[in-house]
């Protein structure tokens, strides 16, 4: 990946400590379910009595059903994911077309997994992912986002990963939103 200069200059002793096993606990951690359980989503939803289907969700600037949110996200251009502040992969937008080949492939059984489980342990993938997460967690050099083109062997098609620090209403780190787009 072509890293921005400020990201290249980070201290590896610091970012490699990033807990990709998600052993910590945050305000929103759902306890009592193995994070890498392929049925984590259904078990966690049942445990917290999650809204679903035609249940309404009041948002800060709207009111939609869970179905409407799902439909909207499925039809969004690009692939989106969300990882919480405990490095647990909690959501991705599933494409409408089941034959669509995702650039950063995610599957329903990965929801709930740790960051370690969703990233392949090849080349520099895990250290680079830890670097991005740590940089956004710490707001390294004032940065709250990272743009990184990813080589794919096709010089005519650029795959761009955009990582954005997500903050709560008090400015505390809440996780990372990722958008994968094709240029």
pLDDT above 90 covers a percentage of the chain that reads 72
Confidence of residue 158 (pLDDT cuts 50, 70, 90): confident
Under 8 Å between Cβ of 109 and 38: yes
Write the DSSP symbol of residue 40.
H
d(CA 86, CA 26): 6
Please write the tens of the pLDDT for every residue from 32-59. Answer: 999 999 999 999 999 999 999 999 999 9
pLDDT above 70 covers a percentage of the chain that reads 98
The β-bridge partners of 79 are 180
Q: Which two tokens stand for residue 89?
A: 């992969």
Please check the confidence at residue 80 and state whether its pLDDT lies above 80.
Answer: yes
Please write the tens of the pLDDT for every residue from 107-142. Answer: 999 999 999 999 888 888 899 999 999 999 999 999
Give me the pLDDT at residue 156, please. Answer: 74
Of 61-75, 78-92, 100-114, 126-140, where does mean pLDDT reach its minimum?
100-114
Question: How long a stretch of residues is the chain?
Answer: 183
Of 2-11, 16-25, 27-36, 80-89, where does mean pLDDT reach its minimum?
2-11
The domain spans of the chain are 5-182
Enumerate the H helices of the chain as residue ranges.
5-8, 12-15, 40-48, 66-74, 115-118, 125-138
The β-bridge partners of 64 are 57
d(CA 176, CA 84): 6
* Average pLDDT value over all residues in the chain: 92
**What does the DSSP assignment read for 132-147?**
HHHHHHHTGGG--EEE
> What superfamily would CATH give domain 5-182?
PAS domain (3.30.450.20)
Q: Are strands 159-167 and 62-65 parallel, antiparallel or unpaired?
A: unpaired
Global confidence as pTM: 0.89
d(CA 53, CA 19): 34
Please check the confidence at residue 26 and state whether its pLDDT lies above 80.
Answer: yes
Please check the confidence at residue 1 and state whether its pLDDT lies above 60.
Answer: no
């Amino acid at each position: 990946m072509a890293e921005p200069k400020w990201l290249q200059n980070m201290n590896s002793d610091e970012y490699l400590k990033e807990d990709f096993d998600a052993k910590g606990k945050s305000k929103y951690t759902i306890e009592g379910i193995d994070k890498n359980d392929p049925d984590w989503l259904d078990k966690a939803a049942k445990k917290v009595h999650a809204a679903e289907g035609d249940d309404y969700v009041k948002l800060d600037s709207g009111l939609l059903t869970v179905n409407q949110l799902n439909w909207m996200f499925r039809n969004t251009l690009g692939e989106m994911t969300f990882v919480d502040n405990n490095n647990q992969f909690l959501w991705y937008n599933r494409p409408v077309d089941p034959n669509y080949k995702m650039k950063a492939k995610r599957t329903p059984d990965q929801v709930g997994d740790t960051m370690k489980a969703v990233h392949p342990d090849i080349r520099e993938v895990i250290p680079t992912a830890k670097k991005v997460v740590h940089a956004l967690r710490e707001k390294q050099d004032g940065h709250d986002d990272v743009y990184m083109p990813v080589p794919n062997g096709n010089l005519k098609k650029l795959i761009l990963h955009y990582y954005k620090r997500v903050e709560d209403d008090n400015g505390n780190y809440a996780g990372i939103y990722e958008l994968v787009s094709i240029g």
